[in-house]
Amino acid sequence: MENNLNNTITVNEPRAACKVADDEIDLRELFTVIWLGKWVIVTIATLFAVVSVVYVINQPDIYTSEALLAPAEQDKSGGLGALGGQLGGLASLAGVNLGGSSNNKSQLAIEILKSRQFSKSFIQEHDILPDLMAVKAWDSETNTVVYDEELYVQAQNKWVREVDAPYKPKPSMQEAYKEFSEIITVKQDDESGMVTIGVEHISPYIAQQWVNWLIEDINQTMKQRDVLEANESTNFLTNQLQQTKVADIRAVLYNLVEEQTKTIMFANVRDEYVFKTVDPAIVPEEKSGPKRALICIISVLFGAFLGAFFVLIKRSLKKD
């Protein structure tokens, strides 16, 4: 038994030693192949470095303007809170909004802000399609943007880009929405509920202006939605009052009408209806992109990796 065990150990030890030796030889051979092909690797890495430098030099600076917002508190005092618990069914039937948390309203506003319909209205109302789709550079001395003449001729207010069907020289709203959604950011802090709206653009002044417009437009949109809903609810409740003779139900309906009137009055006296500006957008002085140094470093490393891979594949093919 002991002899067999010793024999097994004796047999296995040379095999393990051979395996370690083979690994060392393979690793040594790998480094040798890479070292012999170092000039190929250096050449490819240098080529990637040159291409990346040319690319980043031709990329314009991007500026980001941001504003910090707080959800506006909604009035839930008085009879509104009590009616919400007692008359939920009747209020729902009438389409009456008996108040919800300001957090829920801000969440709805954020989703509307990201929607296609809102983006389309925003782009058309402020006529920003050329600034969105055709800007090539920004002149800081004159604070003017330079348009790509292969896309848009400013003097003639004419789109001249060459595209295949179904696209047209003038970008569609679907194209505009795709571009617009890539340059705006809307983030909400889960703990504080604070909302940050940001816009990236070649011109820092345009970035700031668009942030301000977004805040104004989303407040106005939410205000109009609530006023329209309150008016429709009031009309419904008024009709019910004319058809109802029971005193208790009439009292309830009067309370509901009163709350809708409060909603309309509240909306009309407040410009910051959903979001209050805590920290307004400013004209950024420092660019936010592109990260030129990082792009160059990643390109060089990728070129070196590609060169080493090419050298090893070439060596492998020669062996075969």
Render pLDDT for 214-264 as a digit per residue (tens, 0 to 9).
999 999 999 999 899 888 888 888 888 888 888 888 888 888 888 888 888
Range of the domain at 302: 2-58+292-319
Residues 122 and 222 in one domain: yes
**How distant, in Å, are the alpha carbons of 129, 152, 207, 208 from that of 157?**
11, 7, 22, 24
Report if residue 224 sits inside a domain.
yes
> Which one has a higher pLDDT value, 274 or 78?
274
Question: What's the average model confidence in pLDDT over 152-165?
Answer: 92
**Residue at token pair 């940050």:** 196
102: CB partners within 8 A, 6+ apart: 71, 72, 73, 74, 274
- For all residues of the chain together, what is the average pLDDT? 83
Average pLDDT over residues 267-274: 85
Verify that 8 and 105 share a domain, yes or no.
Answer: no
Is residue 21 in some structural domain? yes
d(CA 301, CA 275): 46
Quick one: pLDDT band at residue 79, thresholds 50, 70, 90? very low
Asked if the model's pLDDT at residue 23 lies above 50, the reply is no
Q: Please say if the pLDDT value at position 11 is more than 70.
A: no
Shared-domain flag, residues 239 and 297: no
User: Residue written as tokens 């506003």?
Assistant: 109
pTM: 0.75
Do residues 156 and 245 both lie within one domain?
yes
Structure tokens at 201: 């653009």
CA torsion sign for 47, 50, 51, 52 is positive
Give a yes or no: residue 285 inside a domain. Answer: no
84-96 pLDDT, tens per residue? 444 444 444 444 4
Residue 107 has pLDDT above 80, yes or no: yes
Q: Using CA atoms, how far apart are residues 285 and 242, in angstroms rounded to an integer?
A: 62
Q: Report which DSSP code applies to 289.
A: B
Strand-pairing partners, residue 195, are 69, 188
Angle between helices 2-36 and 38-57 (to 10 degrees): 60
> By three-state DSSP, how is residue 156 classified?
coil
Cβ within 8 Å of residue 217, ≥6 positions away: 118, 121, 122, 125
* pLDDT confidence bin for 82, thresholds 50/70/90: very low
Q: How confident is the model at residue 142 (pLDDT cuts 50, 70, 90)?
A: very high
- 264: nearest Cα among 220, 238, 229: 229
Whether residue 24 has pLDDT greater than 60: no
